[in-house]
Amino acid sequence: MKNAFGIIVTIGVLIGNTTIAFAQKKDTIAFMNKLGIDNSYTGLSYMESSVYGFHITYTMKKHAVALSPHIAYHNLFDGQSDWERHGVSFVYQYFPIRSSRLFAPYLFYDLNYGFIKSRRDVIVKTEDGLNTYGAIREVTSNTIAHHFGIGTRCNFYKGFFLHLSFGGGPSSFGQSVFLRSLQSAYPNTKESEHPFKNYETALMFRVGIAYQVGLKELKKIGQHCCD
């Protein structure tokens, strides 16, 4: 009787361990440090535009870092013309449950720097308020934004994954405003301030698709190419 009971318990333990192992295998990808590329679309309130970025990523078990220049922009507001925008972003991600799960939530910090130059036609009043004249208003702005937020990513096929994140935080900026008069009777004017004098709240969202490959696999590919 004791032997039968022992056999039943042993079978139950084996079945339970097998089920747990299968569930973990189903919800987890074998982990190794990975290098990859990430094509993303990011909405940035401080730049009044959305940014297409191309991140170089490095992922560890619970951490990931990424660096990307701003590649192209999509205006969120009308009225500006002849935009000149440049920027770069650095991203750190922390995965509480591990980055190798099929669905991996994460916390992130995003550091964004943007250089913005815009131009628009304006009507300017004279100091006495009696006359107006046409001018071109050129604004140059430097901005640093710190975004903190949450996101999740889904590993859907052999190193490919989708990700979505939202965040916000403080940003600082400064502007240089140059008014180019269109009438010779009125002079040009320029006002400048410290590049990071002003503060405001910055918001962002990011969605993208990425591909990563393990460092061991890269070494194998390199060995095959050399051979």
What is the number of alpha carbons within 13 Å of residue 16 lying toward its C-beta? 6
pLDDT in tens, 42-77: 988 887 778 888 889 998 888 899 998 888 777 765
d(CA 2, CA 184): 107
Q: Which residues contact 147 (CB under 8 A, 6 or more apart)?
A: 108, 109, 110, 111, 112, 167, 168, 169, 202, 203, 204
d(CA 75, CA 45): 11
Query: What was the pLDDT predicted at 214?
Result: 67
d(CA 215, CA 218): 5
d(CA 39, CA 30): 23
Residue 108: pLDDT band (50, 70, 90) is very high
Query: Are the C-beta atoms of 137 and 179 separated by less than 8 Å?
Result: yes
Tokens representing 44 are 């940035």
pTM of the entire predicted model: 0.72
> Domains of the chain by range and CATH?
31-79+86-115+141-170+197-226 (2.40.160.20)
Query: Are the C-beta atoms of 92 and 56 separated by less than 8 Å?
Result: no
Query: Are the C-beta atoms of 121 and 20 separated by less than 8 Å?
Result: no
pLDDT in tens, 187-223: 888 888 887 788 899 999 999 998 887 666 555 555 5
